[in-house]
Amino acid sequence: MHFRYEGKNNAMKVSIVGASGYSGAELLDILLRHPNVTVEKVFANTSAGKRVDEVYGRFRGRTNLVYETLTEDAVAGADVIFIALPSGEAMHLAPRLATNNRRVIDLGGDFRLKDLDQYRKFYGQENVAGAAVQSAVYGIPEWNRAAIQKACLVANPGCYATSAILAVTPIVKEGLVEEKGIIVSSLSGVSGAGRKATVDYSFTELNESVKAYKVARHQHTPEIEAAVSEVSGRETTITFVPHLIPITRGIYTTIYARLRKSVTMDRLSELYAGSYASAPFVRVDASRIPEIKDVQHTNFCDIGFRLDEANGTLVVLSAIDNLIKGAAGQAVQNMNIMMGFNETEGIL
């Protein structure tokens, strides 16, 4: 049986490390609405001493929390700790924090890849988290729910990876497409780069333009390949090209896969409907092409598809909000599963 939180009045204590970034702020926003959660502490070293509503005006009248400097003693009373820090930082924290029945959910990339050589190649540093990397559970709820229920440490998937994995896994698992050489092209809003101020992400540099980046070397490439291969049982390789577009939030992913066998739109609809019948946040509609505007500020992933029969190609499209389904919303979804709450609690 999986764990179910049975604390006093069911008010579970939660702390957020890295709470002043965009994902951390979205986490706080969701958790303040969660009926079974009390946000006890928020940590942000660069904003330590400031009130949350001083940094983000949308929290005025909702919380009196003040950002603190992280210490292990300060999180001693937490039942769940979210780490919303840049990749390379959680590896030093999570193994120590995921003790004494505390659950830890890392929104960064330190625990997503079991292959440490791949981590070194794509993240440009050594992963020093040791055995915690291998024991961490990859938190894609629609495909890994049973393992998440028992997990002490969850690696929240990347935003691009979420949009691709949910879209491509059913057809690879079913053997409908060639699993080698799948092309994934994604467009992302600027908030995916985080809250740091740089010239590259300024309005004047990004407005009225589109650019690809990290072509053939983005860290979500091995993450997508590993997750799809694990779930489908078929070794999968992809070519992934991310693009930055001048919107604040949202990811739009288009996948091109070569068909291995003839298939109809009706069969595809049945396959996706069956794959996500128990997934409250995946919306499949063969009659519609997904749009970013329909998923912004939600935890939904919208999926559509079209057949290019002349070329033997299946095109699958997905849209998510990179800060919600691609980060904070999915993290809370994982927490709900881990702690025995309704999966949609606080998110819908």
Q: What is the 3-state secondary structure (H, E, C) of 121-142?
A: HHHCCCCCCCHHHHHCEECCHH
Helices (H), 85-158: 90-97, 116-123, 131-135, 141-149
In this structure, whether the domain defined by 160-322 belongs to CATH 3.40.50.880 is answered with no
pLDDT at 9 over 70: no
Residues sharing a CB contact under 8 Å with residue 57, sequence separation 6 or more, in sequence order = none
| Contact yes or no for 189/251 (Cβ under 8 A) | yes
Check residue 235 and give its pLDDT.
96
Strand order across the 182-188 sheet: 211-212, 238-244, 182-188, 251-258, 313-320, 301-308, 282-284
b (16+ CB within 10 A) / e for 212-230: eeeeeebbbbbbbbbbbbb
Are the folds of 8-157+326-339 and 160-322 the same? no
Q: Which of 31, 159, 257, 320 is catalytic?
A: 159
pLDDT band at 206 (very low <50, low <70, confident <90, very high): confident
- What pLDDT score was predicted for residue 204? 81
Alpha carbon distance 221, 219 (integer Å): 5
Residue 325: pLDDT above 60?
A: yes
Known catalytic residue at 159 = yes
Query: Token pair 């946000």 is at which residue?
Result: 39
CB–CB of 320/301 below 8 Å?
Answer: yes
pLDDT digits 0-9 by tens, 100-125? 889 999 999 999 999 999 999 999 99
Domain boundaries defined on the chain = 8-157+326-339, 160-322
Q: How do residues 302-311 score in pLDDT, each as one tens digit?
A: 999 999 999 9
CB crowding 194-211: b at 16 or more within 10 Å, else e: eeeeeeebeeeebeeeee
Enumerate the β-bridge partners of residue 318: 253, 303
Which of 74 and 10 is assigned the larger pLDDT? 74
Assigned architecture for domain 8-157+326-339: 3-Layer(aba) Sandwich (3.40)
* Angle between helix 141-149 and helix 329-339 axes, rounded to 10 deg: 40
Say what percent of the chain tops pLDDT 90: 89
Quick: pLDDT tens for 171-192. 999 999 999 999 999 999 998 8
Whole-number Å distance between alpha carbons of 163 and 303: 9
Among candidate residues 251, 233, 229, the one with its CA nearest the CA of residue 242: 251
Q: 202: pLDDT confidence band, cut at 50, 70 and 90?
A: confident
Are 205 and 211 in contact by the 8 Å Cβ rule? The answer is no
Cα(97)–Cα(99) distance, integer angstroms: 6
Reading the block at residue 127, the tokens are: 């992963």
User: What percent of the chain stands above pLDDT 70?
Assistant: 97
Q: Residue 335 corresponds to which tokens in the numbers above?
A: 């927490």
pLDDT tier at 5, thresholds 50, 70, 90 = low
Q: Are 68 and 20 in contact (CB under 8 A)?
A: no
pLDDT-based confidence at 8, cuts 50/70/90?
A: very low
Distance CA 91, CA 113 (A): 12
Query: Please, which pLDDT band fits residue 232 given cuts at 50, 70 and 90?
Result: very high
Instruction: Show the tokens assigned to 83.
Output: 């780490």
Q: List, edge to edge, every strand of the sheet that includes 37-43.
A: 67-68, 37-43, 12-17, 80-83, 103-106, 153-155, 137-138
198: pLDDT confidence band, cut at 50, 70 and 90? confident
CB neighbour list of residue 174: distance below 8 Å, 6 or more residues apart: 271
Instruction: State the Cα–Cα distance between residues 145 and 141, nearest whole angstrom.
Output: 5
The H or E element that residue 274 is part of is helix 265-275
- Evaluate whether 195 touches 275 at the Cβ level (below 8 Å): no
In this predicted structure, the answer to whether residue 4 has a pLDDT above a threshold of 60 is no
